[in-house]
A and B are shown apart, each in its own frame.
Chain A
Amino acid sequence: MNSLSKLRPWEKFFWPLISAFLLLALWHYSVIWTGTKVFPSPLSVLRGLTQLIHQHVLWKDIADSFRRVAIGYGAAAVVAIPLGLTLGWYPAAYQVVNPVMQILRPISPIAWIPVAIVFFGIGDRPAIFLVFLSAFFPIVVACISGVSRVPPVFRRAGRNFGLSPIQLLARVIFPAALPQILVGLRIALGIAWLVVVAGEMIAVDSGLGYLVIDSRNSGNRYDLVVAAMLVIGLIGLALDISFRRLEKAPSVRWGFRDAS
């Protein structure tokens, strides 16, 4: 069967390049064939990208988006991790709080924008609030899940060695739950990145999301729109990859099964 035939090392680069090339060709030719005046070709996107870099607009927008993610995400982690650990440790507390969480969680952070604007006005702060909100729930859920999944063996061994409850939490429960918490943190970071872009499209006047909307509004510069989208995608991917590196650290690597 196909998936078991031997893969040669160069294939890791070969196939993505082929598909990328095909995709670009498809894109390029469909622009030509449809004769569209508005939709950009790959080359014009590239040119638009260079233009953005030279005008220094891109770096400022990236920095703004980053800053909002950093503050919102950082705040969410600081609040959500202790809360999640506590809720995971005391199932009764979790069951009390859970109904509220289950209703608040499916409300799109974007839907909070009008309320956020009332409280924070337009600018950085509603965006940061949005990021905080969107990162908060995944982190809490991951912490609860991580703590409740700690095998009883570890708890017993910890108690056997005479650890107090606080020591047990710090030296056994937390390290045992850490792989799961890290996964939650990584997912939350991905969500934060999505939401900051979305928030900037509505409630702010700087950042990558704003760049996307603004490029269209001020002159139908779809080449810049697509360029901005690509930058968003690449940065999001870079964030994800760096986080996965963390998951390879030896004191958490044990928690991740090697798939494929």
Chain B
Amino acid sequence: MVFERDGQAISVLSDISLDVGDGEFICIVGPSGCGKSTLLNTLAGFISPTSGSVVIDGEAVTGPDPRRILVFQDHGVFPWLTVEGNIGFGLSKLPRAEREKRIAHYVNMVRLQGFERSYPSDLSGGMKQRLQVARALAVNPDILYLDEPFGALDSITRVIMRGELLRIWQTERRTIFFVTHDIDEAVQLADRVVVLSSRPARVQDVLSIDIPHPRNISSPRYLELRDELLKQIGLAYEV
């Protein structure tokens, strides 16, 4: 993937080759600026690769599609719509009764009951992200892309949100691509972790996290995997 910026061609991604199964939880990690978000936006169809292609279920990706929804880190929800309005955004083709049923279902799933008529400006950061996830799930996508969705939240909320995401994922299983710079987050959430090298990024390694959920973050296997990841990224693990 080659970008043109200020007249210079910058190679951002090179040689990315991935095979992903249905319903897998994939985390993408890598050093800052290595192109994780670029990869995600390409997978979602917002950017076209300069060479190569994205193929999903045998079909090439040519643009954004409601079957693959991207959850943004910041400011993703529409501030002029209520919680209900946001969740129902992609459901305009459905008959009214069906739409209302679905909205109610997802309001409950992300635990925003009581806030149906609230506007995003009345919600906390964590609640807004939950709203985004609900909005994404409401259209029943095959794949969910999450671009550092918890990056703008404080660390306590982050931990809570991870649990929420796992719970939701285990209830309604989709394929998830989760970009993060937080190693712990990756080990806690993913089935497999894709490690990208620094720019131009290539797939440096793919780690399988073989611990079943719920994962004990003090267990030896967890720490082992975490250390392996840190080593992959090239970080010393003694402060």
Contacts and interface: CB of A to CB of B under 8 A. Distances in A.
Real complex partners, A and B? yes
B79 A160 contact: no
Interface in B73-97: 74-76, 78-81, 89-90
Nearest to B44: A160
B80 A161 contact: no
Contacts of B80: 175-176, 178, 251-252, 254
Interface stretch (A91-99, A110-118, A151-159, A191-199): A151-159
B70 interface: yes
A156 B47 CA distance: 11
Contacts of B69: 160-161
B120 interface: yes
A162 B75 contact: no
Interface residues of A, number: 20
Contact of B76 (A157, A162, A178): A157
Where chain B touches its partner, the secondary structure class is loop
A153 B128 CA distance: 14
Contacts of A62: none
Contacts of A250: 119
Contacts of A172: 78
A47 interface: no
B66 A161 contact: yes
Interface in B192-206: none
Where chain A touches its partner, the secondary structure class is helix
Given A254-B119, A254-B120, A157 B78 contact: yes
Interface string A156-181: 11011110000000011001101000
Interface string A228-260: 000000000000000000000011111100000
B222 interface: no
B79 A153 contact: no
Contacts of A253: 119, 121
A253 B79 CA distance: 9
Interface string B130-172: 0000000001000000000000000000000000000000000
Contacts of B81: 175, 251
A81 to B, nearest CB: 17
Contacts of A171: 89
A165 to B, nearest CB: 12
Contact of A162 (B74, B78, B90, B121): B90
A153 B74 contact: yes
Interface of B: 44, 46, 63-66, 68-70, 72, 74-76, 78-81, 89-90, 119-121, 139
8 contacts: A153-B74, A153-B75, A156-B64, A160-B70, A171-B89, A175-B80, A252-B80, A254-B79
